[in-house]
Structure formats: C-alpha cells, structure tokens
Amino acid sequence: MQAAMAAGTSRCELADVGSVDTPQGLLLDYTNDAMWWQSEKKGCAFYGRGLILQLLGRSDDAIADYTRAIGWMGTLGEIYAARGDAYEARGEHEKAETDYAEAAQLSRSDANVLNSSCWERAKRGYPLDRALRDCDSAIELKPDLWGAWDSRCFVNYRLGNYAAAISDCDKSMAIWQDVRFRSRSQYVRGLAKIKNGDIQGGNSDIAAAKDVSPGVAKEYAGFGVTK
C-alpha cells in the first residue's frame, strides 16, 4: 500500500515515480488503496492518484480525485494547492484562485506542507513561480528542513537558475549527511553543474548519485528531466 498518514502530522506520505514505481504502477496501487482504506488514508490514496494523473496531464481526472480527497480530509492545504494548479491548467482561473486562497490559509505556518507543494510543482514543472514561493516560505519557517532546500534546488534548475540550484543542493546535502538521502540533491546538482559549464564536476556528481541510488536518473526522467 502506497498511501499513509505521516505520524504526528496531517500530511500524506506518498510514493514518488522512480525506478520501480512507474506512473501506471502507482495509479494501480493508489486505486487499490482507495478501494480498501477508510478515513484519512482513503483521502491520501485519492490525493496520491490525483498527483499522478496530473503529472500525466490528465487534469480533469486529477480534479475529480482531489475533490474526493478533500471530502475525506479537507484540512490539508497541499490538496487545495494541487487542485488549484489543475484548475489553472484548464483555464478556470476563478476556481484556481479560490483553491489557492484556501491552501494559503491552511498551509501558511506548516513548513512540511509548503515543501510538499513545492516538490509536487517542481516535479510537474508548473507553476514554478508558486513552487519557488512555497519553498522560500518553508525555508523561512524551518531553515534546517533539508527537503525544502532539495525541492528549491530542483525548482531553480527547472527555472534555469543553475548557480542558485547548485547552492541550494549544497545546503541540502550539508544538512542531511545520510548518503541515501543526499543522492537526489547530488544528482540535480550534477545536472546544474553541467548546464553551468562544469562538465567534469557535473558528471562526477551524477556518477556518485547513481552509485548510491541506481534508480535516481530514471526517477527524474519520469519528471521529464534527463542529462
């Protein structure tokens, strides 16, 4: 089962697209979870499936799942943020702004939720301006949250701010010493170094990241990002 509630928080812990979990596989897993789980876990399953559907460009289906998720757990700001993005992708600006306002009200003091929204937007590649604001707010609230630096590194890479991406990944890796969790930042730092003209340093980072996490390149390829 992929969807679960994180202990002591209102945030869902969801699987990412990676070397094993393809979008199609995650859709099946989340569908099964939505059938069997109850209460907030069911909401997490619908939210997780909505994220995958949105990543695949299926905004209508994503909105339907986000709405189901809100019915089960309507106090999670990141769901409203994701649904707002899906409405915006369909050109429904008024509905998007309503959801963005609700997301801001629910998430303004929760660094973990803000980081989660930043990361999901970074994966999709839109809206990157909102992703950057989410990460900035998360870091302001909790400067030692390594995941927010990691997420902002990816956002800056997407935006073409390669020097900023390298700096953010440096910070993420400095905070979190466990190599198992550093590989994602190191991989994106490598991509950014190559774009910034440091071919040798970039290739070295990418090789080191793959050595620790062989599936890291495939994970980012799932988001449309390759070397």
116 & 42 share domain: no
Residue in the block written with tokens 């619908």: 46
Report field, pTM of the whole predicted structure over 0.95: no
Residue keyed to tokens 């992929």: 2
**One domain for residues 221 and 121:** yes
Pair 101, 122 in one domain: no
pLDDT score recorded for residue 23: 81
- pLDDT tens for 87-109 read 999 999 999 999 999 999 988 88
Residue 192: give the domain boundaries.
110-227
Rounded Cα distance between 107 and 212, Å, is 34
**How far apart, in whole angstroms, are the C-alpha atoms of residue 36 and residue 86?**
26
How many structural domains does the chain have?
2
pLDDT tens for 171-198 read: 999 998 777 778 999 999 999 999 999 9
Residues 98 and 114 in one domain: no
